[in-house]
Structure 1
Amino acid sequence: MKIAIGKALFKSHSYSEYRKLVSDLLRSEKSTGKEQSPELTNYSGLNETRMNRLEKTMKISEGIVENLKSLKNEYIWLVISEGWCGDAAQLLPIFDKMATASEGKIELKIVLRDENEELMNLFLTNKAKAIPKLIVINRETGGALAHWGPRPKGAADLITNYKKEHGVIDETVKTDLQLWYLHDKGLSTQLEINEMMLDLDSQVD
């Protein structure tokens, strides 16, 4: 696993580099990833707008900021993403703001799913390559300590329940999901990741 993580980190992007990569591809009417289609490019464009809005409006709660700054150890958050992924667009700005708030305790790195199949295959969700996936790495040892994703519990439950009832993931539930994120304002994600990090930090020597 350490080899796959090392390879991925070698070709990873900072948050700003990732944003620029997605934006540059959009100007050429392309999306990230192996598959190219007008639909995926359209999703990437919508996500660009979402991320711009979230960067301006998303706030990390004061208590969580203090917890992140007080972490005893240092970590890398390695996130598997793609520009067309709606969940990633909702969550990456939160990851970035939380990492920034940690004042050096957490460094955010992003890799593209289709360019890192070896890593992705280590962190499947129900045998699927669901993204985004946040992998918490001990900066000192390079080992993976935990992972989170592809979405917070409330959002995951929404998708699971809809699929049970209707048998498919369609545009209706995708719209419902975006509304869930809008109303949640990033709080569920912050709380879940905060709890995970405090738990991990208490275990790492």
Structure 2
Amino acid sequence: MFSAQDRAAFHQLVQARRDMRHFTPGASVAPEVLRRLLQAAHHAPSVGLMQPWRFVRITDTSLRRRIAELVEAERLKTCEALGERGDAFMQLKVEGIRECAELLVVVLAPDDGTVFGRRTMPKEMALCSVACAIQNLWLAARVENLGMGWVSMFDPVALAHELQLPDTAQPIAILCLGPVPQFYDAPMLELEDWRHGRSLDEMLLTNCWPPSALRG
């Protein structure tokens, strides 16, 4: 059983989680701490106990550089796709690949044939399971006072080639991890006035999707 103090600490942790892009150059993460973080991720729920996550730790400097180049290529394509907001987008810092202490790539493993709980949505349930592992890792990093940032700007085929993944495996996330100068007071996209989060009440429906919400 958890105490009221435990509950308060948990909710404080959830609200303090941030998607970090600024890291302390030259810092490190102790091996035992990294192991704790990955163990927390590995404790995530998964549909049918399939555990479809794999974590690739990037220790090769040249490989890290090439991954950064893949992300930069996609950042430029995203700028083009944003049209009139492209210039503002280019002012945002979207990753900390070169500065972070640890770089991890989370991979969706080849399908192991699990049917339990995912017969009608096999790929979706595998992805949801991997996302749960990433969230566990994020919260574990925050309680260790380490920052983590999820980078999604990359060509998955190109990154899979760099990591020599089997054909049926797919990279899902590049995770920047490590000490940070400070944590953002609010989500960075809000601080930069790029986009603002919506309230829970806007997202909470009862029984069905009401006509008034069809625009959302």
Q: Output the TM-score relative to the length of structure 1.
A: 0.27
Larger Rg: 2
Q: Output the TM-score relative to the length of structure 2.
A: 0.26
* Greater relative contact order, per chain length (Cα 8 Å cut-off, separation 6+): 2
Return the structure number with greater helix share: 1
